[in-house]
Structure 1
Amino acid sequence: MTEDSNRTPENGGRLDTKPRSGPRAGAAARASAGRPRTFLNSPSVKLVLIGLLTLMLVVPTTFVWVLVEERADRARDVAQDIARSWGGTQQINGPYLVVPYTETFVVTEDEKEQTKTHRYSAVLFPERLEIAGDVAVEERQKSIYKLPVYSSQLNLSGRFSSPPSSAFDPQNGGLVQIEADKAVLVVGIGDVRALKSEVSVSIGTTGPVAFEPGLAGLMRNRLPDGRHGASGINAAIPERTWRQGFSFDIPLNLNGSTALYFAPAGQTTSLRLASDWPHPGFTGAFLPDSRTIAGTGFEAEWSIPYLARGIPKVIHTSEMPLQDKLLGVKFVDPVNFYQTISRSLKYAVGFISLTFLAVFVLEVRSGWQFHWIQYGLVGLALIIFYVMLLAFAEHVGYGFAYLIAASAATALNAAYVGSSLKSAFSGVVMAVVMASIFGVLFALMREQDYALLIGSVIAFVALAVTMFVTQRLDWSGGEPLAARPAE
């Protein structure tokens, strides 16, 4: 070896009398060629710059989140268009027997007696209500968006007992006049446009009585979106029939979308639902007593006793009762990927930080410089991952889209890091690290209840690995570990 070959920039051209050989000489040569001694190249400053760069990437991450919300709003608008054509969320409330009556009474105002007349509606609940329904669900598509819609065959049966003597007691001590010939049977329906056939009620042994649209002007029905409107049907009931009590049977052929709700209108209510949709979401004031869920659909049964309902047998009101005690099922889309992607963006900073940390460790171990601009390019590739995930999920579904986007981001960053650090081993390590990160992120999105636990464990492990890998690193900017002579 000649003397000139041992002159280095670090010793100012002085002769290095200690020859170097082997792998450490190669690492030192790489450090000398690829890592000039500058302030910005010191590991401590590099780590600070990486932290600032991570925070800067919050800005494009926010833009991606806005894009996800915009696409989600577009999907909701299309779903509403489908629902308007097919039928919206349905709520079946009733049947109730509504008997109007007036009360005439005398009041004294300004030392003068005045006669006033108030109009009331006595709402009688069925003594027993049994609801059975078969619901066939399918997905309707418009453009690239889908919405679960259903066709239901429902049957409402039960019995009204004769009204109690207190049903028409005066409210102000006046004279009561019952409008017995105006009694009606009313059933509230969320979207009457979705009725697919005429509806009639079979009363006792008499023939069917046809329903008319609306709630006969007597009551208001609060719709699922909070608005009020006359959404329902009514059938006139003869005085002799309702005074004696009667049984009823009401078949309904009803379309709808997203969800189906019922009110426990009977003093005792039983409900049985069966459907071919394998992803039910039971909700409302009462959960089913029993349920069976399989890949081919579900069956569920509810039983609500009189005391649990918490309402007397007769009430006086101008609105449909039990609007706050609905029960039913949502036909859940198993993966709402807009919500999932939006939630995953909350972990983007940690996701990017772990990736940068892996690159930093590989850099300080390799002896080659990885510029902070290159860190930015790696981070932008991770941002593009979310955009690709959103774009592909709208066409091929969330699971397959995640595989495509994650594979592309992993391959790109692994190849880039490996080639920049002149090390195939670094590329392989980067691929393993990123595949692990993407796998953990996928698990976090599926296991929301354990997200905090999993995230905290990963952060601890990443910090521990970094601490021990960089234990002998000269943070002030000296030679990297690989270039140090053995002690």
Structure 2
Amino acid sequence: MTDTTDTHTPYGPAAPQQPATTRFMTFLGSPAVKFVLIGLLSFLLLVPSIFVWVLVEERAHRAKDVAREIARSWGGTQEINGPYLVIPFTETYTTGSGEDFETMTVRRTAVLFPERLTVGGYVAVEERKKSIFTLPAYNARLDLGGTFAAPPEDMFEPRHGGTIDVAADKAVVVVGIRDVRALKSEVALALAGTGAVPFEPGLGPLAAKLDHNPRRSSGPSGINAGVSPTVWRNGFTFDVKLQLNGSTAIYVAPAGQTTKVSVQSDWPHPGFTGAFLPETRTINRSGFDAAWTIPYLARGIPKVMETNHLPLQDKLLGVKFVEPVNFYQTISRSLKYAIGFISLTFLAVFVLEMRSGWRFHWIQYALVGLALIIFYVMLLAFAEHVGYALAYLIAAGAATLLNAIYIGTSLKSRLAGLVMLAVLGSIFGVLFALMQEQDYALLIGSVIAFVALAITMFVTQRIDWTGQGRPDPEPAGAAV
């Protein structure tokens, strides 16, 4: 008896069934599986990118260490705090009665702020170099002028109802200077009508609060000059000229009841910082000019205070001498975009592969990705010698040409090589723009990601992701 089983389907003869092993191998070679493997490869390449980030941080710490070495020999960040009129006094009082009777003596210190203070000067900046690292260092010439009014009558009031003894002959004018080792000339307190009094090292009766501010490269210090009772009791006009070295930044305390500060410099990249920003500022290629005015009420402290510490250490105003490009920070930020950077490149290669007659092995994808990782290493190495912009051009150009030629020859297509040249050139251009526009980096990055996904969706719309290569079935009733 002959087997007459019907082998037809409603759409025509049934397709021959492939063995399960053959179907499985076909699935492993399908574009869908390859797409997933490429995604996994992109994440695996984050491992070498992390090692590159560690290298960038290590070089950045090395640069900071060299900067501190330069600052130790030339001068660190300077803080000019003062002048203040400091007058020590004691209060003697008694406590208890009978056998518990006791006489106590308390040492106290009164600090009088200038009625008016004007700080002006010029800061000449140059880049000091050690090995391949540089630091903005400066020589500042400052003039501190102003007036101390006669002390108020209630300046030496007893707290415990005792007797006040003012050490009138111990009164000093104190100026806090962060790094006195960097003074380049003798300093004197010029008093109107009475000549000049040379300063001595130290803060006199005062001490500076120790803290862990990272901008400070040395311990607290300062200078002091004695003032006779006949001078300070009646008020006096003063003038102090300072010439000192420093680096990175310079700060001034608004020590006067009304303080005016004016700073000029030849450094074209200032960063104004501190408790007060300048009222007026002019910045151009030849330098900057900035001016501050801090009135008595804005300063927020009284005209006279009793303290053993240098006042206003947390109310400084100043300017940082910013380097145009901190390429260590820029490269470190760019590594955050490495996964997107690599994924966009792999997507372009995948689309070109699907549209060509040749296949690109996943190891070849890995080689392309490693070339992009090495781009960051080249960028870091060249930036330390020729600057960030030129280093980026060299590293990006090398990575673009290498990958474009490699992909074009592997896919046996000159057009594929030219497409990758354009794609990689655009990616590197966008990455450079992202690093320059910190405020808009997230916005630009999200738009680019959306556009890249949209292009990928439509370009890969006709790809047979399963790899089976089956045509769509014809509708029922079609002509045979």
How high is the TM-score relative to the length of structure 2? Answer: 0.90
1:122 alignment partner in structure 2: 110
Change beyond 3 A, Cα 1:113–1:173? same
| Runs (5+) with no aligned partner, structure 2 | 1-14, 17-23, 472-480
The equivalent residue for 1:215 is: 203
Q: Report if aligned partners of 1:196, 1:253 keep a CA contact under 8 Å in 2.
A: yes
The amino acid that maps onto 2:106 is: H
Aligned to 1:144: 132
Conservation of the 8 A alpha-carbon contact between 1:42 and 1:475:
yes
* 2:27 alignment counterpart: 39
Instruction: Report the CA distance between 1:107 and its aligned residue.
Output: 3.0
CA distance in structure 2 between the aligned counterparts of 1:111 and 1:46, rounded to whole angstroms:
97
Check conservation: 2:26, 2:468, Cα contact below 8 A.
no
Cα deviations across residues 198-219 of structure 1 (Å, max 9, x unaligned)? Answer: 0001111111110001112433
User: Any idea what SS the aligned residue of 1:456 has?
Assistant: helix
1:192·1:232 contact (CA, 8 Å) conserved in 2? yes
In structure 2, the partner of 1:58 is 46
Aligned counterparts, 1:96-175, within 5 A: 96-108=84-96, 112-175=100-163
The counterpart of 2:231, out of the listed 219, 238, 241, is: 241
Q: Specify whether residues 227 and 365 from structure 1 end up closer, same or farther in structure 2 by C-alpha distance, changes over 3 A only.
A: closer
> 1:230 offset after TM fit, Å?
4.8
Corresponding residue SS for 1:443: helix
The residue that corresponds to 2:438 in the other structure is: 448
2:167 counterpart residue number: 179
8 Å CA contact retained: 2:82, 2:176: yes
Q: Which deviations, in whole Å up to 9, do the C-alpha atoms of 1:368-425 show, x marking residues without a partner?
A: 1111111100100000000000000000000000000000000001111111111110
> What displacement does 1:191 show?
0.4
Match of 1:388 in 2: 378
Aligned to 2:363: 373
- Structure 1 letter corresponding to 2:54: V
Amino acid at match of 1:135: V
Report the equivalent of 2:21. none
Read off the aligned partner of 2:170 and give its amino acid letter. Answer: K
For residues 372 and 209 of structure 2, what CA distance do their matches in structure 1 show? Answer: 50
Cα distance between partner residues in 2 of 1:479 and 1:111: 111
Hey, what does 1:203 align to over in structure 2? 191
The whole-number CA distance in structure 2 between the counterparts of 1:105 and 1:227 is: 43
Shift, 1:116, TM fit: 1.5
Aligned partners of 2:111, 2:210: CA distance in 1, in Å? 16
Relative to structure 2, which stretch is displaced further, 285-294 or 111-120? Answer: 111-120
Counterpart of 1:152, as a letter, is: A
Q: CA deviation at 1:478?
A: 3.6
Alignment of structure 1 residues 285-434 onto 2, 5 Å: 285-434=275-424
Instruction: Give the whole-Å Cα distance in 1 for the aligned partners of 2:97 and 2:137.
Output: 58
- The CA distance in 1 between the partners of 2:94 and 2:217, in whole Å, is 36
The runs of 5 or more residues in structure 1 that have no matched partner are 1-10, 13-35, 482-487
Q: 2:456 aligns to what?
A: 466
- What are the superposed Cα offsets for residues 31-57 of structure 1, whole Å, 9 maximum, x if unpaired? xxxxx9743321111111011111111
Within a 5 Å distance, the mapping from 1:214-293 to structure 2 comes to 214-220=202-208, 222=210, 225=214, 229-293=219-283
Q: Is the contact made by 1:389 and 1:405 (CA closer than 8 Å) also made in structure 2? A: yes
How many residues end up aligned between the 2 structures? 448
Taking the aligned partners of 1:480 and 1:370, their CA distance within structure 2 comes to 23
Residue 474 and residue 246 in structure 1: after superposition, are their counterparts in 2 closer, same or farther (change >3 A)? Answer: same
Q: Give the AA of the match of 1:198.
A: E
SS of residue in 2 equivalent to 1:311: coil
Q: Which residue of 2 is the match for residue 15 of structure 1?
A: none
1:17 match:
none
- CA deviation vs aligned residue, 1:405-455 (integer Å, no higher than 9, x gap): 000000001111111111110111101111111011111111000000000
- Residue aligned with 2:69, SS: helix
Separation (CA, whole Å) in 1 of partners of 2:454 and 2:110: 72
Contact 2:141 2:243 in 1 (8 A): yes
Per the normalisation by structure 1, the TM-score is: 0.89
For 2:206 and 2:222, locate their aligned partners in 1 and report how far apart those are by CA, in whole Å: 11
Shift of 1:118: 1.1
- The code of the aligned residue for 2:381 comes to A
Amino acid at match of 1:104: T
| Residues 263, 290 of structure 2: 8 Å contact kept | yes
Residue 88 in structure 1 maps to residue 76 in structure 2: yes
Q: Percent identity?
A: 68
Report whether the alignment pairs 1:191 with 2:167.
Answer: no
Corresponding residue SS for 2:440: helix
- Secondary structure, in 3 states, of the residue corresponding to 1:319? coil
Pairwise CA distance, 1:367: 2.8
Alpha-carbon distance in structure 2 between the residues aligned to 1:467 and 1:214: 72
Measured in 2, the distance between the counterparts of 1:454 and 1:408 equals 25
Measure the CA separation in 2 of the matches of 1:233 and 1:297: 31
Q: Could you tell me how far apart the structure 2 residues matched to 1:109 and 1:262 are?
A: 51
Q: Separation in 2 of the partners of 1:418 and 1:227?
A: 55
The answer (yes or no) to whether the contact 1:129–1:157 under 8 Å persists in 2 is yes
Q: Using the TM superposition, give the Cα deviation of residue 108 of structure 1 relative to its aligned residue in structure 2, in angstroms.
A: 3.7
How far has the Cα of 1:227 moved from its partner? Answer: 9.0
Distance 1:418 1:197, change over 3 A: same
Q: Which residue of 2 aligns with 1:476?
A: 466
Distance across 2 between alignment mates of 1:104 and 1:162: 25
- List, as ranges, runs of 4+ consecutive aligned residues in structure 1 with deviation greater than 4 Å: 221-230
SS in 2 for 1:476: coil
Contact 1:215 1:230 in 2 (8 A): no
The amino acid of 1:474's aligned partner reads D
